[in-house]
Amino acid sequence: MNHKSRGWAPAIALLATLPILWLHGAAQAPKPVLTNKIYTYFIGPPDTLKEMILAADAVVYGRILAAAANDSVSPIGGALVRTAYRVKVNELLHTLGGHPIDTDHIVVLREGGDRDRGTHIERVVQENFPSFSVGGEYVLFLRWNPSQQAWAPAFGPGSVFRLSKGRVDSFGSSGIAAAQTGKTAAAFLETIRSFGG
């Protein structure tokens, strides 16, 4: 009889832990994501790459290290989600010299991002301007935003060129963006260096 009761003991112990495992799994279920699109108007880029370089406060080749979304107040009132991207500066390609730029890392501020609202995730998406990918490498044409004390894309999506697998891809739809898309990253960087100074 003692031999039989030992055989049931592991099964009873397993059955006793199943509700705990099920509850633990339920606690880990993903929260629903509610997506809101925002439409932002930007100043379009100049007509040529050289003019674009010279019009930007800074042009940086860097890698996205981290992203942190926060609640903010829009200039016209109301709530706004903004994401602060910490960017490792691989190379400062151009600066107008107005605001000093940290050659180690900078913060680039963008509208949109994900915020945990307790019962759900609020995802704010900037229409036609994809979020930066952490770990991604980019060439960013920036302007200094004194009210936010951070850098921001100078010409919206046309300010951002992703470098991936040795090639250039642009977020923008301007003639400059189309002309640079598909070029080698090395050639693109060298062109900017030749104009940037």
pLDDT tens track for 76-88: 766 789 999 999 9
Within a domain: 3: no
Strand partners of residue 69: 83
Per residue in 139-184, pLDDT (tens digit) is: 999 999 998 889 999 999 999 999 999 999 999 999 999 999 999 9
Smallest CA-to-CA distance from 128 within 112, 144, 139 is with: 112
pLDDT of residue 27: 54
Residue 11 domain-assigned (yes or no): no
Residue 90 inside a domain? The answer is yes
| Dist CA 60 CA 143 (whole Å) | 11
- The Cα 9–Cα 16 span in angstroms is 11
Residue 24 lies in a domain: no
Indicate the pairing of strand 160-164 with strand 137-145. Answer: antiparallel
Read off the pTM: 0.81
Query: Which tokens in the block code for residue 65?
Result: 């290290």
Q: Which residue positions in the chain have pLDDT lower than 70?
A: 1-28, 75, 77-78, 196-197
| Structural domain for 105, as ranges | 33-196
Q: Is residue 166 assigned to a domain?
A: yes
β-pair type (33-38, 58-73): unpaired
Domain contains 108: yes
150 located within any domain: yes
The pLDDT value given to residue 120: 94
What pLDDT score was predicted for residue 16? 39
Burial environment of residue 31 by CB neighbours within 10 A (0 to 12, 13 to 18, 19 or more): exposed
Task: Please tell me the total count of domains within the chain.
Answer: 1
What is residue 197's DSSP assignment? -
Quick check: is 5 in a domain? no
| CATH code, 126 | 2.40.50.120
